């Protein structure tokens, strides 16, 4: 029997309105018809450029914002169909780690109070001694010392602060952690430490992570599965290493080609893709103005996510590209 997903995102869209009485009302669609599943005990990556809708998706999964349409099912229950009281009770099961390890921690509070803060909103919150023990155990779990509980955030490095933020997210023993660009503000060596910590927490504690980043190489290093987003839509999904090794969508390939690759030294260059800023193309494929393989169909028909076959490296993968087969043939001939 196949275990149901921890998170089931169905046809999620989010519009934002701007302007006013005199300027006129303008509606921006940040997310369009996004569907995906996140399975228990996995790290599921979401990757894409700034402005592609990654953080909007994170806020909707955390129920910090409401969708224009669609639903987010957590353990089979729609987060936007429950009462405020029930949603508050469920929040212990999903927590978030933010991008900025400096701005996400209150500089006026000790580390112990910061890490223990989520416990105060729980029904039947633990007493002082139990809170102290939980904080000490969680600090040790993320590679810090229980003695650090008495210190303030300014006494720690960026990587240590992000460990504190992760400890705060884990203190309620959540089933899901949403990490929104959690390592992008850190230098490379510290990034590696935090990524290793997330993988260790997945392996030892069974924590499920929705890992949001703009860096495909980071996703390739830590994620089990990945979804690639462009202009508010999911354009490719599948096992992370397979997606990174053999992209099916031209945009995914653009992201992959942006990463250094010593294995291609001395080999012919791939056909270049435009790196110009994306523009709103209306109907059709939103990537066509940057794609060298675009044809007339791309301007009139928006591609939907689809599978390409049952070959071992294509199984369990989807892409939203009319000409994905052409891209595969070109990659094979190189």
What DSSP string describes 78-114? ETTSS-HHHHHHHGGGEEEE-S-TTTTS-TTS-HHHH
Backbone angles phi, psi at 66, to 5 degrees: -105, 140
Under DSSP, the state recorded for 4 is P
More confident residue, 292 or 330: 292
What pLDDT score was predicted for residue 1?
Answer: 53
Rounded CA separation 56/68 (Å): 12
Q: Is the pLDDT of residue 251 over 60?
A: yes
More confident residue, 181 or 327: 181
pLDDT digits (tens, 9 = 90+) for 196-231: 888 988 998 889 999 998 888 888 889 999 999 999
Compute how many other C-beta atoms are within 10 angstroms of the C-beta atom of residue 198: 21
Backbone angles phi, psi at 309, to 5 degrees: 150, -175
- The rounded percent of the chain whose pLDDT value lies above 90 is 41
Rounded CA separation 166/161 (Å): 9
> Could you tell me the CATH superfamily of domain 41-63+90-240?
P-loop containing nucleotide triphosphate hydrolases (3.40.50.300)
CA torsion 1-219-54-323 (nearest 10°) is -80
What pLDDT score was predicted for residue 126?
Answer: 74
Q: What is the mean pLDDT of the chain?
A: 85
For the sheet containing 208-213, what is the strand order?
A: 94-97, 176-180, 208-213, 43-47, 225-230, 233-239, 318-319
User: Taking residues 123-143, what's their average pLDDT?
Assistant: 85
Terminal-residue alpha carbon distance, the chain: 42
- The rounded percent of the chain whose pLDDT value lies above 70 is 87
Give, in order, the Cα–Cα distances in Å from 211 to each of 90, 103, 163, 182, 226: 20, 19, 15, 8, 9
Which pair of structure tokens corresponds to residue 167? 């400890």
What pLDDT score was predicted for residue 19?
Answer: 67
Band of pLDDT at residue 282, cut at 50, 70 and 90: low
pLDDT digits (tens, 9 = 90+) for 56-114: 999 999 999 999 999 999 999 999 999 998 998 888 899 999 888 788 889 999 999 99
Q: Is the pLDDT of residue 262 over 50?
A: no
Q: Is the pLDDT of residue 51 over 90?
A: no
What pLDDT score was predicted for residue 195?
Answer: 86
Delimiting residues of CATH 3.40.50.300 domain(s) in the chain: 41-63+90-240
Backbone angles phi, psi at 170, to 5 degrees: -90, -10
Band of pLDDT at residue 279, cut at 50, 70 and 90: very low
pTM for the structure as a whole: 0.86
Give, in order, the Cα–Cα distances in Å from 3 to each of 6, 46, 100, 209, 233: 9, 22, 35, 17, 27
- Pairing relationship of beta strands 208-213 and 176-180 according to DSSP bridges: parallel
Q: Is the pLDDT of residue 287 over 70?
A: yes
Rounded CA separation 200/95 (Å): 17
Q: CA neighbours within 13 Å on the CB side: how many for 21? A: 0
Specify the range with the lowest mean pLDDT, choosing from 20-34, 101-115, 300-314.
Answer: 20-34
Helix (H/G/I), strand (E/B), else coil: 46: strand
Q: Is the pLDDT of residue 237 over 90?
A: yes
User: Taking residues 181-205, what's their average pLDDT?
Assistant: 82
Specify the range with the lowest mean pLDDT, choosing from 164-168, 301-305, 310-314, 327-331.
Answer: 327-331
Q: Is the pLDDT of residue 276 over 50?
A: no
Task: Give 72's contacts (C-beta < 8 A, 6+ positions apart).
Answer: 7, 8, 9, 10, 12, 60, 61, 63, 78, 79, 80
What pLDDT score was predicted for residue 273?
Answer: 47
Under DSSP, the state recorded for 186 is S
What pLDDT score was predicted for residue 188?
Answer: 77
More confident residue, 293 or 137: 137
Band of pLDDT at residue 32, cut at 50, 70 and 90: very high
What pLDDT score was predicted for residue 254?
Answer: 86
Rounded CA separation 129/187 (Å): 36
């Amino acid at each position: 029997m196949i275990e149901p997903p921890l998170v089931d995102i169905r046809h999620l869209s989010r519009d934002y309105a701007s302007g006013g009485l005199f300027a006129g009302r303008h509606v921006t669609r940040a997310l369009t018809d996004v569907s995906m599943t996140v399975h228990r005990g996995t790290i599921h990556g979401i990757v894409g450029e700034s402005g592609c809708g990654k953080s909007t998706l994170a806020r909707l999964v955390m129920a910090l914002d409401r969708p224009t349409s669609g639903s987010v099912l957590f353990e089979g229950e729609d987060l936007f169909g429950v009462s405020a009281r029930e949603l508050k009770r469920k929040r212990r099961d999903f927590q978030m780690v933010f991008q900025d390890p400096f701005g996400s921690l209150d500089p006026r509070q000790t580390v112990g109070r910061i890490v223990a803060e989520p416990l105060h909103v729980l029904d039947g919150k633990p007493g002082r001694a139990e809170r102290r023990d939980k904080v000490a155990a969680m600090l040790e779990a993320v590679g810090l010392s229980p003695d650090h509980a008495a210190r303030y955030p300014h006494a720690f490095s960026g990587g240590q602060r992000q460990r504190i933020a992760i400890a705060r997210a884990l203190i309620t023993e959540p089933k899901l952690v949403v990490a929104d660009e959690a390592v992008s503000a850190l230098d490379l060596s510290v990034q590696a430490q935090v990524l290793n910590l997330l993988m260790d927490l997945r392996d030892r504690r069974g924590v499920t992570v929705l890992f949001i980043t703009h860096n495909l190489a980071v996703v390739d290093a830590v994620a089990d599965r990945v979804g690639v987003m462009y202009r508010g839509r999911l354009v490719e999904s599948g096992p992370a290493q397979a997606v990174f090794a053999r992209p099916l969508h031209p945009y995914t390939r653009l992201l992959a080609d942006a990463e250094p690759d010593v294995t291609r030294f001395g080999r012919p260059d791939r056909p270049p893709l435009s790196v110009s800023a994306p523009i709103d193309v209306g109907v059709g494929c939103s990537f066509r103005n940057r794609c060298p393989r675009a044809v007339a169909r791309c301007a009139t028909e928006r591609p939907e996510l689809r599978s390409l076959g049952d070959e071992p490296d294509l199984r369990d993968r989807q892409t939203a590209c009319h000409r994905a087969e052409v891209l595969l043939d070109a990659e094979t001939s190189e």
